[in-house]
Structure 1
Amino acid sequence: MANVRTEPPPPFSDEAAAALAADLGRRIRGEVRFRSEDRALYSTDASNYRQVPIGVVIPCDAEDAVEAVACCREHGAPVLPRGCGTSLSGETCNVAVVLDFSKYHNRVLDIDYGKRRARVQSGTIFDDLRNEVETRDLTVAFDTSTHAYATIGGMVGNNSCGVHSVLAEKMGAGSGRTEDNIHELEVLTYDGLRMKVGPTSEEELEEIIRQGGRKGEIYGKLKALRDKYADLIRERYPKIPRRVSGYSLPQLLPEHGFNVARALVGTEGTCVTVLEATVGLVESPPARALLVIGYPDVFASGDHVAEVLASGPVGLEAVDARLIENMRRKGLHTKELDLLPEGGGWLLAEFGGDNDEDAAAQARELMAKLDKSRNRPATRLLTDPSEQESVWHIRESGLGATAFVPGRQDNWPGWEDSAVPPERVGDYLRDLKALFGRYGYRASLYGHFGQGCIHCRINFDIQTQAGVAKWRSFLDEAADLVVSYGGSFSGEHGDGQARAELLPKMFGEELVQAFREFKAIWDPQGKMNPGKVVDPYPITAHLQAGPDYRPPEVDTHFAYPDDGGSFARAVTRCVGVGKCRMRGGQVMCPSFMATREEEHTTRGRAHSLFEMLHGGPIKDGWRSDQVHEALDLCLACKGCRSDCPVNVDMATYKAEFMAHYYEGRRRPMHMYSMGLIYWWARMASRMPAAANFFMRTEPFAGMMKRMGGIAPQRQMPAFASPTLTGWFHGRAAPDGSSRAADRARVMLWPDTFTNYLTPEPGKAAVEVLEAAGYQVEIPPRPLCCGRPLYAIGMLDRAKKLWRQTLDHLRPLIRDGVPLVGIEPSCVAAFRDELLNLFPDDEDARKLAHRTYMLSEFLRKEGFEPPRLEAKALVHFHCNHHAVMGKDDENAVLDALGLDHRDLNAGCCGMAGPFGFEADHYDVSIKCAERVLLPEVRKAEPDTLIIADGFSCREQIAQTTGRQALHLAEALRMAMRQPAAGNARADGNRRPETGPAE
C-alpha cells in the first residue's frame, strides 16, 4: 500500500551514538545508558517486533527531558518516549533514543476533587493515582489489565482502555478510552516547543494563530487540516466505542471543541513527547457485585451483549471455553475456575452501587430477566469481594493463558485487538472463526465485549517465510472483515507497526494522507518514533522471532522439557507484558522492587538472554559480562515461575548461564564459601565448637568473612551440636519401645540447613509425624539436593549429588515411601530441578511426585492437629510460593486455630547465600525492608512469626531480633500446650524442648 515505508531504518553509526551519549552525559542530570546491554533491554516490547535502540535516557524531570530532546535534535537522532514498554503493536521499540519516564518522572502532582481532575507526570503508575482517588469514591476509567505498572503517559500514547470503560460511559465520561478522559496535556515537540494543550474555542483558536510563533503556526495548520478534511472525518471514522486505530482527528472538529490534547492521545509517540497529563476522574461505586453468565458458547455470549448492557453494568467482559481449557492445561487459577457456572462462553457483568445490597439487587434484577428468557443461561452471583477478585484474575490472565500452552502451537499477537459495534459481537465472532478455519488458525476469544473489543492470540507461524506470507494474507482478509462491520483494527492496543500498513482499508487514502499531514505539523523532521502509524515499516519487517532468527544450538545442563529441550525457545517465553514490573503483591521480581531497574526484571533478563543468542548488541555469548550483570541480582527466588503469566523460569536460566559463564574460570570466593556449604558443614559438624569460635568471634570472624566474600554486617549461623541426624540416631525410641512395624513409613529429609545449622524444626517435624502415627526414617548417610549450587551454576556438582541421592534412596523410592521436607527450597529442588536435570529417569520422576512439604503431607493424610490459640504472622519462602503453593500450609494453620495473616511480603531478600554475599547485602536489606521487616518489628511480642525457610528466619533474626518458628514448631507447640503457653508469652523465643531431646 502507498503508506508503507520501504527503506530500512536510517543508520546511526557507533561513532555518532558515542558522541551523542557523551553530550547527553554532560547536559542532563538523569541517566544516559548507551551500552549494548542497555540497548538490548529496550529492543522489544510485548509485540512481535524487535528494533535495537540507539540508546536510553532516563530523565529526572521535565527539564531533563527537554534538554535530552534538544541534544538528540542537534545530533539528528530520532526519539521514542516510553512508559513501561508493554505495547502489543511494536510502537515502543525503534531505532531511536528511548526516553524512559517510568523511573523518576512519576509523581501525582495535584488532585482537584471538586473538578474531579488529577494532574500527573507522564511516568506515573496508573494504580498510584487510582488507589489515591478511590479513597474518595472516585476512579480513573481507562484501567487496562496492566494497571498495576502501566504509566499514564504510555496510556496517553496508546489511547488505552480497560475493564471499566463501560463505567465511564455510564457516568458520562465518553467511551472510557484515555482520549475521552484527558483534559489537558503538557507536551514537547521535537523542535523544542513546550506547551500545554487542551480544548480550544474558536475565539481562542484565532487568537493563538494571530499571536504567531511556533505555537501559532501549529494551531494554524491544525485548523487548516480540520477544515480540509472535516467532511471526510465525519464520514469515514467508525461510530463505535472502541476506535483506537488512526489519529483522533475528530477531536479537532468544532463539535468536539478543537481539543488538541485529545487529538494527540493515541499518537504513539510519533508527534510529541508527553510531559504531564490532566486526567478526568469519575464516580466509583463503593460496592460491587459480579454476575457471571454462562452461555453455550462464546458466540451466544456475544449475541447477548446488548441485552446485558441494557441492565446498566459498570463492567462487561467475556471469556470463552478455549481460554478456560488453556488455563487448566497450564494450571492457572484452577480453584478460581470452579466459580464459573456451566457454559462454553461467559459474560462477566459487574454492577456497582452505594452498598452491597444495592449492587446485588441490580445483578438479581438482570438474573430475573435472564431466567425468563427462552434459552435461559446459567448464572452465578458473586458478592464476596475475594471471589469477585478471583474471577477478575481469570479475565486479566487472558494473555498469559493464551501464550505457550502445553501441547499446542505457540500463539502470537497480530490480530488480537479488533473492535466492532457491541450489538454485532456475536455475528462478527462467527465470521472471524470461519476466517480462522480457512487459514487453519485457532484462537481463544475474550475481551471487552461490552464495548465490542475482541482479544485473542492466534497460532500464526511467524518463523518461516511461508508462515509469514500466510499470516500477511490473513491480515488483509481480517481487515476487510472488520471494516465490513463498521469496526476498527484496534480497539485498545494501537496501530504501531502491527496494523498501520492496513489503515487505508479502514480510512481510505485521503485520510491516511491527513495522518501524514497531522504528524508533519508536529514533527516536520520526522524524528518522533518514525516508521510507526504514519508511513510505517511493513507488518512483516523487524520480527523478533521471524524467519531470520536462527539461534545457535547450545548444549545445556537442564533439559527444558516444557520447551522442547531448547534453551533458545525457553528464553523467548517472555511476551513482554511486564508483570514483573509490579512493585508489590507478588514475589517476582524482588531485585526490581528494590532497584526499579528494567535490567532487574524477569523481562529484562529474558531480553538479555535472547539478545545473547541473537548476537545483536550482545556478542560474547555465554561469556558476556553484561548478561552476567543482569543476572547477578536475580535472587533465584523462582517467583517468576508462578507469577509470570507465561511461567518464565529465570532461576533455571540463571543457573544455566552461570554454569557456562564460569566454565574453566575461577569463581568469586563467596561461591566457594557459600555454594559448597554442604561440604563445609559436614567438616564443621566434627568440631562445631571450634568452627563456631572462628566463624563468630572477632577478629577471626571478620577475617573469615573477608576471605569468603561475606558481608561484614552478617553474623554467620552457628553450627549445631548435635546435628539433626546425630540427635535422631542417638535418641530413645518413641514411648521407650521399638517402632511399631505396622506404622506407615515416611522419610524425613535432613537438608543441609536443618541438619547442620537449625535442627530444631527437624526435631519438631519428627515429633509431629510420629504423633500422627508414622514411622519416621532418615537417610542412612549425609545427602544433599545441591540447592546452594543452582544459583551459582555449579550444575555438574549438583548432578553428582542428585545421582548420589537417587542411588541411596532407590529402595525407598521403589517401595513408595513418601519423602517429607522441612526446608522449602530443598523440597522445591526435588519437585523442579530434579526433573529438569533427569527428565527421563523414572526413579527421579517418582521421587519428585512423592516429595512433600510437611504441611502438604499432613493435609493429604488428613491429620487434625490440636488447637493453638494465638496470633501469627506468616511469611512464605519464595520457592514455597512458586513451586508448592500456599494452600496446604494455610489449611494446616487454619486447622491449628491460629489467627494468622499472610504478610504477602515477597522475597525476604536473604534467598539462601544471596543475602550473605558482600556485594548483595544492600539489595538484600532493601528487599526485606519493603514489607517483611517493618511488619515483624511492629508485631506484638506474643505474636508468633512463622517462616518455614531457613534463610527467611535468618533474615528476620539478624535484622529484628525476633525468632521466627517453622510450622513444625508451631504444631509441636500445640501438642505441648503448657510449653506453648510459656512460649507465647515471648514471641521472640523458641519453645523449650521436651525431655526426650
Structure 2
Amino acid sequence: MTDSVSRPVLHDPEVLHQRNPVDGAPVDTGDGAVIEVRNPATGLLRELSEAGVSADASPRRRSEYSYDASNYRVEPLAVAFPRTVDDVVAAVMACRASGTAVIARGGGTSMAGNAIGPGLVLDFSRHMDRVLALDEEAGTVDVEPGVVLAALSREVERATGGRCTFAPDPSSKNRATVGGAIGNDACGNHSVRYGRTSDHVAEIDLVTSDGARLTATETGLRATDPADSFSITRAETLSASLARLAQENLSTFRLELGRIPRQVSGYHLQNLLPERKFNIARAVVGSEGTWAIVVGARMKLVPKPATALLVCLGYHDVVDAARDIPAILEFSPAAVEGTDEAIVATMRHRRGPDSVLGLPEGRAWLFVDLDGDDTEAVRAQADRLLARLAENGRLVHGRAAADPAERASLWRVREDGAGLSSRLASGGESWPGWEDSAVAPDELADYLADLRELLAVHELTGVMYGHFGAGCMHIRITYDLRSEEGREVFRTFTRQAAELVVRHGGSLSGEHGDGRARSEFLPLMYSPEMMAAFSECRRLWDPVGILNPGSMTEPDPMDAHLALAGVPQREWRTSFDLHPAHAGTDPWVHAAQGCIGVGRCRADSGGVMCPSYRATRDEKDSTRGRARVLQDMVRGARTVEEGWRSEEVREALDLCLSCKACSTDCPAGVDMATYKSEFFDHYYRGRVRPLAHFSLGWLPRWLKLTGRLSVVVNAVLATPLGKVAAASGGLTTKRALPRFAGAREWRREIADAGAHAAGETDSTDSVVLFVDTFTRGFRPEVAGAATRVLADAGHVVECSPDACCGLTWISTGQLGTAKKLLSKAAKVLDDGTDRPIVVVEPSCAAALRKDLPELVHTEQANRVAARVRSFAAHVAERVSAGWEPSPASPPPEQAVLQTHCHEYSVFGAAAQRTVLEAAGVRNVVDANGCCGVAGNFGFEANHYDVSMQVAENALAPALRATDESAAVLTDGFSCARQVDQLDPSRPGLHLAQILDPGTTTSPTPTTTTARHTKETEELP
C-alpha cells in the first residue's frame, strides 16, 4: 500500500537554535546571544527535494529510525522514502557528493544492527513494496525490495492457485521484507527443507555507490539497462575484478566458506568460484547492504505441499532435544524448530493459560513439520517418527497436532520467541547479541551443553529457541546492558562464545548477519587472508565506503552505540503503577524501553495491532515507532529532549487509538495506550487541552445533564445546530451524534427485566451487573437484555450502584479525575463477596480489570479488579459450565463479529464466538481488527479520516462481504457507532441482545440500598 502524495515531502528545521548539530550541546556565547547553527542535513535534503525524493530530518523521524531490533542506537542524519529506482540513484549520488553514509532498510527487524547508521536511511518498505510480475512456468517472481515476505507468499499462492509459494519464512515474515532477507540471508522455520534466501535468488537488481545500475545473475553481472554505457563499463570492470579475487583465493574460499548449512557470517565469496559458476547473485546475498543497494529481485518459487502435519515433542531440556536431531532429520522434515519453558511460561502469563494449546509434557519442545502429497502417508510417517524417538529414550512425550487451532497456537509460541523472551514471566529481561550462532546439526547438543556452562561461569541465563534442525540457535541472554559492569560481561562473554562456536566448527551468525553485534569477532572465525579478501571485495563494490559503515569490515566495537548505555538516572513520577522488573531502573524508563523492535506492530495481518500503522503505513504510527520516540525522550536525546513537554512525543502519540491491542499482540508486552495516557497527563498540565478532551473526556458528566434533558437535546441535535454543537466541542461533523437516553431509561429496562435491584447476595450464583455510563446514556436496552440473559444462565442478578470507571478521563490523560472515580468505584463495589462483577461495556470492563489496580494502589482495588468480567467472558464461562442459551428470537444464520479491542486485549478474543456458536449461530465472519472509533478517537475532528481508514483494515470489508440478513455483533458502543456510519441499515447489536430470552427467570428482587446510590450519584 502506498499513499497518493506525488510531490516530495521535506521536513527540515533549517536552523537549529543554540544547539550544536554534532553533539547537541548548547552553543553559549557568554552574553546570552542566540547562535544559529546550520543543520548538516539541510544541503542534502535540498538536493533530495530538487530530485523529487521524499525525505525527513525532523527530530521525531530521526528518533524512529535510530533503532532496529538490536541492542544498538545510531541516530541518522535523515530518512528518505524512495518510490522508484531513479529516486534511489538520486539519493545515492547526493550522498556520494557529500560523503554521507547510506543505509538501506526494509522492515527494520535486524537483531544485529544491520538497519541503522549515521547517514541517510532509505526506507524501502513505505513505497517500493510491489509484486511486479510472476512467471509460474519459469518459477520466478519479480519484486521490489520493500515487499513483505508473508505478503509475497500470499500473492504467489493466490496467483498460482496454491500450487507454488515463496519459501523463506523467518519468524518476522509478516513484517520483514525481501530486501532485508537478501541483506542478511534470512532463512526461517522451514529452512531444513528450503535452505536460505540465497537458495531462492535468480537475479538481483542493484544500485552501486557510484550510481551504476547492475543486475547480479547466477552466472555473472550485467548492466540492468543494456543502453546504459556507464553501467555496462562498471559491470565489466567489476566482474573482472571479482573473478581475479576468486582466482587469487581459490583454496581460502574452498576451505573456509560454506562448511555448514547455516554459515552466514562474513561474505559468501565461495559463490564466485568456478564450480559455483560465478554466481554473483548468491554472493550478494548476505552482504548486509555494504556492497550495493538492492532495488529489485527475481526470486525463485517452490511447489507447495498438499498436506502438512505438526508433530510436537516434549523433552526434559534443550540438550536432550538437540541429541535427537540427527534421528529426526532421517524423516525428511520440512521444519524442526525448538523452544524452552521460559518462553511458554511467559506466553501463558501474558496471554492466558489457553494461549498455548496441545503442548505435550516437558520443559523443552521441538516442533517438527512433516509434509507430502498424501495425508495418510504423512500421518504414518509421524507415527514412525514418534516410535523411533521413543526408542531413543530421551522423549518425554510427543503427539501430532492435527487441529488447525492447535497448530497455529504452537507455531505462534515459536514465532513470538524473540519478543516473549525479552520480558519474562519471572520478571527478568534478556537481550540479543549472541542470539544467532550456528553449528552443524549433529554438533548442536554438545555445543549447547558447553554454551550453558559458559553462561553459568558469567552468571547469565540464556533463553533458548531456534532452528534446531539446521543447527541454528536463537539465544536471548540476561545481560545487564544498563551498567558498565554488565556491559563488560557482555563483551567478555560474547568473545568467549565466539571462540566456543568456532571450536565446534560453527558460525557466529546463522541467519541474522554480523552487523554491529558480531563483525568485530569475524577474525576469530576467519584467517587474515579471508578477512583481507572480504575487505577487498567490499572496496571493489563501494570504493568510497559510504554503504552501511560500522559493520562487516572495519567495524565499530561491538559494545559501541548500545541503546541502554548513557540513559540519565532520574525519577519520572507516574500515576500508573508500571511494575518495574529491573532493580535500579525507573519504572517509566523500564516501560519505555520495553520495545525491542521486533516490529510485529508493522504486520499487515494477524491480531489487531497496530491499527493506525495498517492505515497509514508510516513508521511513526506503529507501536514501535512511538516506543522509539519515548526511548529517546528518557535518554534526553537531542532529537527528543523536552521530556514530558516533548512536542515530538505528542506528535508520535497523536494517532494512537488507545486500543490496547499492543498489550496483547506485542510479544514484548508494550502497552502504548497506558503510556499515551500517562504522557498526556503530564504534557497538558498548565496547557490548553483540545476541546475534545472536555466534550468527550468529560462525557459521563455531560450525560448527567443530557439524561435529564434528553428530549430537548436530541431534538436540537437533529437540526443544523447539531453540527454547530459538534464543531464547537472539537468533534467531527461527518459523524452523526448518537441518541441520548433519558436518565431513567436504563432503570426502567432493568425493572422490566425483573431485576432492578439486589437479590440474595449470599447466593453462590449471584452476580453484580455493572451498568456503565455508555450503556446508561446511549444503549439502555442492553442493560435489560443483559439482565435477562444472566438470569437465564441461572444467576441472581444484582444491579450495581451508579459508578464510573473513569475510562474517558484515562484515554484523554486526565488521570487525577480518573483515580478519584476509580477509587469511588472500588469502594462501592468491594462488598465483601467474591461474586463476579459483570460489565456490559467491554472498554469499561477493561478499565476496571486492568487500569483500576494500576491507578489505585490499594488492596480494595485489587480485590474488585479480580472480580471483574466482561459480559461476553462471563457468559462464555457459563457456556463452558454447561449452560445453553435460549434466545427468544431465532438466532441469525450469519453474524459479523466485531470484537472490541479492549475485550480482545484484556479478556481474550474467543468468548463471543464460543457463545454465538452455543446459541446456534454457525456462520461467524470475524472482522478481526479495530473498528477505528476507539472511544473518543473517531469522534474527534482531526482523527475522523484516519478512523475511517482504520475501518477499512477489517470491519468495512467484513460488512461488505455479508448481506443485510447478517447480524453485526458490537458489544462496544464505539464499534456500534462505526457500524452505524458504515452501514446504517444494520445496527450493531450487543451479545446480550442476540441471546436475550425475552422474559426474566430471576427471583423477585429487593431494593438497592439508598446509601450506595447517593454515595456515587454525583461525579466529581
The answer for the alignment partner of 1:182 in structure 2 is 201
The answer for the alignment partner of 1:992 in structure 2 is none
1:197 matched to 2:216: yes
Q: Distance in 1 between matches of 2:133 and 2:792?
A: 61
What SS does structure 1 have at the residue aligned with 2:249? helix
Whether the 8 Å CA contact 2:760–2:766 is kept in 1: the answer is no
The answer for the alignment partner of 2:938 in structure 1 is 915
Q: Distance in 1 between matches of 2:22 and 2:872?
A: 60
User: Which range moved further: 346-355 or 684-693?
Assistant: 346-355
The answer for the alignment partner of 1:172 in structure 2 is none
Aligned partner letter, 2:929: G
Whether the 8 Å CA contact 1:896–1:974 is kept in 2: the answer is no
Give matches, 1:614-763, under 5 Å.
614-616=635-637, 617-698=639-720, 700-727=721-748, 733=754, 743=763, 744-763=765-784
The answer for the alignment partner of 1:167 in structure 2 is 193
Whether the 8 Å CA contact 2:839–2:870 is kept in 1: the answer is yes
Distance change in 2, residues 1:895/1:25 (3 Å):
same
Q: Distance in 2 between matches of 1:64 and 1:801?
A: 55
1:260 Cα deviation from its structure 2 partner: 1.4
What SS does structure 2 have at the residue aligned with 1:760? helix
Q: Distance in 1 between matches of 2:1000 and 2:829?
A: 33
- Unpaired segments ≥5 residues, structure 2: 1-20, 25-36, 1002-1020
The answer for the alignment partner of 2:860 in structure 1 is 843
Q: Distance in 2 between matches of 1:211 and 1:178?
A: 26
Aligned partner letter, 2:798: E
1:361 Cα deviation from its structure 2 partner: 2.5
The answer for the alignment partner of 1:457 in structure 2 is 476
Deviation per residue, 1:361-403 (Å, 9 max, x gap): 2222323333444556522012233322221111112112211
Give matches, 1:893-908, under 5 Å.
893-908=916-931
User: Which range moved further: 456-465 or 630-639?
Assistant: 456-465
Whether the 8 Å CA contact 1:874–1:900 is kept in 2: the answer is no
Aligned-pair identity (%): 39
1:963 matched to 2:987: yes
Q: Distance in 2 between matches of 1:425 and 1:194?
A: 42
Q: Distance in 1 between matches of 2:837 and 2:785?
A: 16
1:901 Cα deviation from its structure 2 partner: 1.7
Whether the 8 Å CA contact 1:725–1:778 is kept in 2: the answer is no
1:131 matched to 2:148: no
Q: Distance in 1 between matches of 2:998 and 2:515?
A: 61
- Unpaired segments ≥5 residues, structure 1: 1-8, 169-175, 978-997
Q: Distance in 1 between matches of 2:766 and 2:230?
A: 91
1:770 to 788, 791, 799: 791
The answer for the alignment partner of 2:320 in structure 1 is 300
The answer for the alignment partner of 2:375 in structure 1 is 356
Q: Distance in 1 between matches of 2:155 and 2:636?
A: 45
What SS does structure 2 have at the residue aligned with 1:873? strand
1:894 Cα deviation from its structure 2 partner: 2.5
The answer for the alignment partner of 1:6 in structure 2 is none
1:238 Cα deviation from its structure 2 partner: 5.1
Deviation per residue, 1:707-748 (Å, 9 max, x gap): 01111111111111354543257658569x995677554322
Distance change in 2, residues 1:765/1:24 (3 Å):
same
Q: Distance in 2 between matches of 1:54 and 1:738?
A: 65
Deviation per residue, 1:537-581 (Å, 9 max, x gap): 0001000002x2225321111111255661111010001000000
The answer for the alignment partner of 1:3 in structure 2 is none
What SS does structure 2 have at the residue aligned with 1:86? coil
Whether the 8 Å CA contact 2:788–2:1000 is kept in 1: the answer is no
User: Which range moved further: 124-133 or 499-508?
Assistant: 124-133
1:942 Cα deviation from its structure 2 partner: 2.4
Aligned partner letter, 1:255: E
Q: Distance in 2 between matches of 1:210 and 1:858?
A: 71
Deviation per residue, 1:136-177 (Å, 9 max, x gap): 422222210011111100110111010111122xxxxxxx11
1:146 matched to 2:168: no
Q: Distance in 2 between matches of 1:201 and 1:60?
A: 28
Give matches, 1:4-19, under 5 Å.
14-19=38-43
Give matches, 1:812-823, under 5 Å.
812=831, 814-823=832-841
Distance change in 2, residues 1:940/1:902 (3 Å):
closer
1:756 Cα deviation from its structure 2 partner: 1.0
Whether the 8 Å CA contact 2:112–2:513 is kept in 1: the answer is yes
Q: Distance in 1 between matches of 2:215 and 2:22?
A: 32
1:706 Cα deviation from its structure 2 partner: 1.4
User: Which range moved further: 631-640 or 250-259?
Assistant: 250-259
1:474 Cα deviation from its structure 2 partner: 1.1
1:483 matched to 2:506: no
What SS does structure 2 have at the residue aligned with 1:832? helix
Whether the 8 Å CA contact 2:350–2:425 is kept in 1: the answer is no
Q: Distance in 2 between matches of 1:76 and 1:885?
A: 52
1:14 Cα deviation from its structure 2 partner: 5.0
1:267 matched to 2:291: no
1:211 Cα deviation from its structure 2 partner: 11
The answer for the alignment partner of 1:500 in structure 2 is 519
Q: Distance in 1 between matches of 2:972 and 2:905?
A: 13
Aligned partner letter, 1:115: A
How many residues were matched structurally?
Answer: 951
Distance change in 2, residues 1:25/1:763 (3 Å):
same
The answer for the alignment partner of 1:529 in structure 2 is 548
Q: Distance in 1 between matches of 2:814 and 2:457?
A: 51
Q: Distance in 1 between matches of 2:828 and 2:343?
A: 44
Deviation per residue, 1:611-630 (Å, 9 max, x gap): 11212211222112221111
Distance change in 2, residues 1:439/1:211 (3 Å):
closer
Whether the 8 Å CA contact 1:50–1:542 is kept in 2: the answer is yes
1:210 Cα deviation from its structure 2 partner: 14
Q: Distance in 2 between matches of 1:551 and 1:123?
A: 39
The answer for the alignment partner of 1:980 in structure 2 is none
Distance change in 2, residues 1:501/1:691 (3 Å):
same
Whether the 8 Å CA contact 1:574–1:606 is kept in 2: the answer is yes
2:907 to 884, 906, 910: 884
Aligned partner letter, 1:296: H
User: Which range moved further: 345-354 or 652-661?
Assistant: 345-354
1:65 Cα deviation from its structure 2 partner: 1.1
The answer for the alignment partner of 2:463 in structure 1 is 444
Q: Distance in 2 between matches of 1:879 and 1:834?
A: 14
Whether the 8 Å CA contact 2:633–2:642 is kept in 1: the answer is yes
1:443 Cα deviation from its structure 2 partner: 1.3
1:968 Cα deviation from its structure 2 partner: 0.7
Whether the 8 Å CA contact 1:370–1:377 is kept in 2: the answer is no
Give matches, 1:140-539, under 5 Å.
140-168=166-194, 176-200=195-219, 213-237=233-257, 239-328=259-348, 330-332=349-351, 334-335=353-354, 337-373=356-392, 377-539=396-558
Q: Distance in 2 between matches of 1:238 and 1:40?
A: 38
Whether the 8 Å CA contact 1:417–1:493 is kept in 2: the answer is yes
Whether the 8 Å CA contact 2:44–2:94 is kept in 1: the answer is yes
Aligned partner letter, 1:657: F
Compute the RMSD of aligned alpha carbons. 2.5
Q: Distance in 2 between matches of 1:679 and 1:374?
A: 68
The answer for the alignment partner of 1:542 in structure 2 is 561
Q: Distance in 2 between matches of 1:371 and 1:803?
A: 57
Whether the 8 Å CA contact 1:91–1:496 is kept in 2: the answer is yes
Distance change in 2, residues 1:830/1:260 (3 Å):
same
Distance change in 2, residues 1:202/1:469 (3 Å):
closer
What SS does structure 2 have at the residue aligned with 1:499? helix
User: Which range moved further: 865-874 or 264-273?
Assistant: 865-874
User: Which range moved further: 932-941 or 47-56?
Assistant: 932-941
Distance change in 2, residues 1:941/1:333 (3 Å):
same
Deviation per residue, 1:583-622 (Å, 9 max, x gap): 1221111110110000000000000111112122112221
1:590 matched to 2:611: yes
